Amino acid sequence: MKINIVFFTSTGNTLYLALRAKYFFEKAGHRIGLFDVVNSRYDEIISCDALGIFYPVWMSNMPDHLQVFCNLLLKEQNKKDLFIIGNCATGADTSPNFWKNKLIKSGHRVHYTAILKMPSNCNISVLAKDTSESQISDFKKDSVNKLQEICKDLLSDVNKYLPGAGISNLYALQRFFFFLKNKFAYKYLRLVNHRCSRCYLCVRLCPVNNIKLGYDNFISFGEKCILCAKCFNFCPEKAICIGKKSEDFQKYRRYVCKEVKPLFYR
Domain boundaries, the chain: 2-172, 184-264
Position 260 scores a pLDDT of: 75
Greater model confidence, 261 or 69? 69
Higher pLDDT, 120 or 10: 10
Instruction: Evaluate if residue 94 carries a pLDDT over 90.
Output: no
Q: Is the pLDDT of residue 244 over 90?
A: no
DSSP-derived letter for residue 231 is H
Confidence at residue 124, expressed as pLDDT on a 0 to 100 scale: 55
What value does the mean pLDDT take over residues 72-98? 91
Q: Is the pLDDT of residue 1 over 60?
A: yes
| One-character DSSP codes across 185-226 | GGGTEEE-TTT-----HHHHH-TT--EEE-TTS-EEE-S---
CA proximity to 200, closest of 187, 178, 219:
219
pLDDT > 70 in the chain, percent = 85
Query: CA end-to-end span of the chain, whole Å?
Result: 28
**What's the mean per-residue pLDDT of the chain?**
86
- pLDDT bracket for residue 250 (50, 70, 90): confident
Look at the chain and count its residues: 266
Three-state DSSP class for residue 178: helix
Q: What whole-number distance in Å separates Cα of residue 53 and Cα of residue 37?
A: 10
Domain 2-172 belongs in CATH node 3.10.105.10: no
Domain 184-264 fold: Alpha-Beta Plaits (3.30.70)
The per-residue pLDDT for range 103-150, each reduced to its tens digit, is 999 999 999 999 999 887 555 555 555 667 777 888 889 999 999 999
In the structure, what pLDDT confidence band is assigned to residue 30 with cuts at 50, 70 and 90? very high
Give 190 or 250, the one with higher predicted confidence. 190
| Residue 147 CA: distances (Å) to CA of 18, 80, 82, 135 | 9, 21, 15, 18
pLDDT band at 58 (very low <50, low <70, confident <90, very high): confident
Alpha-carbon distance of 69 to 7, in angstroms, equals 10
If one counts every other C-beta atom within 10 angstroms of the C-beta of residue 63, the result is 23
Mean pLDDT confidence for 33-60: 95
pTM for the whole thing?
A: 0.89
More confident: 194 or 170: 194
> Nearest to residue 232, comparing CAs of 250, 205, 212, 258?
205
What number is the average pLDDT over the span 91-98? Answer: 84
Same fold, 2-172 and 184-264: no
At residue 216, φ and ψ (nearest 5 deg) are -95, 15
Classify each residue of 246-262 as buried b or exposed e, where b means 16 or more C-beta atoms within 10 Å of its C-beta.
bbeeeebbbbbbeebeb
Q: Quote the pLDDT of residue 266.
A: 43
Query: What's residue 180's pLDDT?
Result: 57
CA distance 93 to 31: 30
Q: Does position 53 have pLDDT exceeding 70, yes or no?
A: yes
Q: Rounded to whole angstroms, how far apart are CA atoms 15 and 249? A: 25
pLDDT value for 183: 61
How far from 40 is each of 43, 66, 234, CA to CA, in Å? 9, 12, 22
Q: According to the model, what pLDDT value does residue 126 have?
A: 54
Local structure of 184: helix, strand or coil: coil
DSSP state of 148: H
